[in-house]
Amino acid sequence: MDPLLRCFHHIEPRGEVFFPLSQAYFGDVDDPATECHCNLWDWDQLRFIKIKGPSKFFPPEDDAETSIFAQSLDYLSPDVREITIDSDGLLTGVSTDPDVDETAFAAYMPFSLCEHLVNCPKIYFSQLHEIGRLGPGVDLLSYNDQRVAFKFNPLRLPRQLECSWREMNIISKLPPHPNLVPFDNIVLEDKESRIIGFTTKWIPGGRLSDPKKPFRLEWLQQLTQVVDFLNFELGIMHQDIAPRNLLIDPESENILLFDFDCAAGGQDGLLEGRDDVTEIPHWNRKIDMIQNIEWTCDREPDCDVSEFRQFLNDWIANRTNGSMERYLNAPKRITWPAFQDPPDYDVPFQFSKTSTGEAKFRPGERYRRSALKNGQYCFRWQRPPQRRQPVVPL
C-alpha cells in the first residue's frame, strides 16, 4: 500500500485524522472541575464532533480531545454529534440531536457565476469513485478507468477557503509543463453545480521526501527550471517548495511539483521569505542564507555534493538582481478574481429571539443547521469511516 494511505487504514493510532477546532471553558480554566466544550473535526468521516467534560482532561492548546475521541470511535454511531465524559474520563452520554450540531455552513460558488472558468474541464462528484484517502482534504478517486487526486475543503475556515480558491485558479490555468502535476477537472456537486474542489492527475511514483531514493543533480536542475518558469513567465510564487511537495513520475523519472495552496500570484498572497527551499522557517530566512548552510547528506547523491552546490550558487547568482521586478512583470501572468462568498451566503437567517419572542435576523456566518432551516442547500460531506471501506491496492 502507498505510504500516503496508511494513516487512514491504521486502526491505532487515529489521532492524525482529527483536527481540533476550538475549546471553551465555562469557569476558571485552572479548576479541574470546570466544564469544557471542545470542537473537533473528523477528517476521515468528514463530520463535526463536540466533546464535553471536566477541564482537567482538556488542558488549553493540548489537543487531548483527539485521543479521547479516538478511544470511543469504534463504539459511536456515525450520527453522533456530541459526547460527554465524566470526572473519571468515562463516556456517559451521546447525542444525535441536529440542534447540537455546530458544523459551520460552507457556501460554495456556483459554477455559473465563474465566467473565468467556463473553459475548464469539469466533472460531477457522483461520477467519481473513492479508492482511498491520502490525507486531510485529499482523496484518491477514479473515473473512466483513470485515477485522480481530489482536493477539497469541507470546513468553513476563511483562510483555507481563500487558499483553495487561489490554488484551483492557478493550477487550472497552468500550461502543460514536464515538471508540474497536470490539472484534471473542476469538481461540482450534483444538485446546484457548485464548485467543491478539483482533481489532478494521480502520480503513483512516490515523493522526493522518500530517503531511500538517490538524489539526482538532474532533479535539482528541473526544480530550478520550473521555479524560474513559474516566477518569471507566469508571475506565480509557489512558496512551499519542499520534498513533500515533489513527486517522481515513474514513467519519465522527472520530478513534478504540486500543492499550490500557499502560492502567490503577483502581490496577491505574497509572503516575505517564502520563495526559498530550505527547512528554516520563512520568518528567519535571508536571501544569502542557503549559501551559508552546511549541507549534510541523508541519501545517496548521483554525483559529488560540490556539483550540487556549484550549480545552485550559479542559479542564485543569476537571480540576485532584478528577480522581484521580473516576477511582478511576468509576461504571461496568471490572474483570477478575488475570493468571495456566493451572493446567497448573505441571505439573513434567524439566529436568536428578543425578550418578547420576536425573531432576530442577520446575514453572514452561520451553522449548517441554520442554513438548512433557512432553506439553503448544504452539500453533505459525511461518509463512512475508512476502516469500513475495502482496501484497494494501488
Closest CA to 308 of 300, 135, 37: 300
> Has residue 390 been placed in a domain?
no
84 and 138 in a common domain: no
> Has residue 167 been placed in a domain?
yes
> Has residue 115 been placed in a domain?
yes
Q: How many domains does the chain have?
A: 3
> Has residue 385 been placed in a domain?
no
Residue 205: pLDDT above 50?
Answer: yes
What per-residue confidence (pLDDT) applies to 351? 82
158 and 65 in a common domain: no
182 and 58 in a common domain: no
Highest mean pLDDT among 48-62, 69-83, 217-231: 217-231
Return the minimum-mean-pLDDT range out of 158-172, 248-262, 296-310. Answer: 296-310
Rounded to 5 degrees, what angle do the CA atoms 270, 327, 330 make?
A: 125
> Has residue 389 been placed in a domain?
no
* Of 100, 128, 158, the domain-final residue: 100
The residue ranking higher by pLDDT, 76 or 291, is: 76
* Of 48, 80, 100, the domain-final residue: 100
User: Which CATH number does the domain housing residue 184 bear?
Assistant: 1.10.510.10
132 and 181 in a common domain: yes
Grade residue 331 by pLDDT with cuts at 50, 70 and 90. very high
Residue 277: pLDDT above 50?
Answer: no
What per-residue confidence (pLDDT) applies to 126? 97
121 and 80 in a common domain: no
Mean pLDDT along residues 193-208: 94
What per-residue confidence (pLDDT) applies to 296? 65
Host domain of residue 267: 111-328
365 and 312 in a common domain: no
> pLDDT tens digits, residue range 29-53?
999 999 999 999 999 999 999 999 9
223 and 126 in a common domain: yes
Residue 231: pLDDT above 80?
Answer: yes
> pLDDT tens digits, residue range 256-270?
999 999 999 998 888
> Has residue 243 been placed in a domain?
yes
195 and 57 in a common domain: no
> Has residue 117 been placed in a domain?
yes
CB 152 within 8 A of CB 163: no
* Of 100, 134, 165, the domain-final residue: 100
Residue 179: pLDDT above 70?
Answer: yes
> Has residue 392 been placed in a domain?
no
What is the percentage of the chain residues whose pLDDT exceeds 90?
55
The residue ranking higher by pLDDT, 204 or 321, is: 204
For CA atoms 21, 26, 29, 34, the dihedral sign is negative
148 and 269 in a common domain: yes
What per-residue confidence (pLDDT) applies to 206? 85
What per-residue confidence (pLDDT) applies to 275? 55
Mean pLDDT along residues 64-82: 84
220 and 178 in a common domain: yes
pTM of the model: 0.87
301 and 177 in a common domain: yes
93 and 32 in a common domain: yes
